[in-house]
Amino acid sequence: MRAEPSSLELCRVQPRMAERNETFDRVERIARFFGGSGYSVSNFVEHIINEHLDNNVANYEGWFTLISKSF
């Protein structure tokens, strides 16, 4: 018998990226240029997202503080 999944398992979503083939090809070309042949579109997109989050952490903290005070 399988154990019930934890709340973390229930919330976990498999990452998927949906884009047109043309868009994927353009992003893949850039990813390979900067990262080499072993660098994937997934790696490139993750890097961009993390860079964005890191650069804007102060904004997010301010928004969370403001939102939490409104409840």
Flag residues of the chain having pLDDT under 50.
7-11, 13
Given a contact cutoff of 8 angstroms between Cβ atoms, the answer to whether 21 and 3 are in contact is no
For residue 21, tell me if it sits in a domain: yes
What is residue 17's predicted lDDT score, i.e. its pLDDT? 54
For residue 32, tell me if it sits in a domain: yes
| Residue range of the domain that includes 27 | 17-69
For residue 7, tell me if it sits in a domain: no
Given a contact cutoff of 8 angstroms between Cβ atoms, the answer to whether 44 and 30 are in contact is yes
For residue 65, tell me if it sits in a domain: yes
What is residue 3's predicted lDDT score, i.e. its pLDDT? 56
Beta-carbon contacts of residue 35 (< 8 Å; ≥ 6 apart): 43, 44
List own/partner pairs for 14-19 with CB under 8 A and 24 or more apart. 15/42, 17/41, 17/42, 17/45
For residue 1, tell me if it sits in a domain: no
What is residue 53's predicted lDDT score, i.e. its pLDDT? 92
37: closest CA among 49, 29, 26, 45? 29
Q: For the chain, what is the domain count?
A: 1
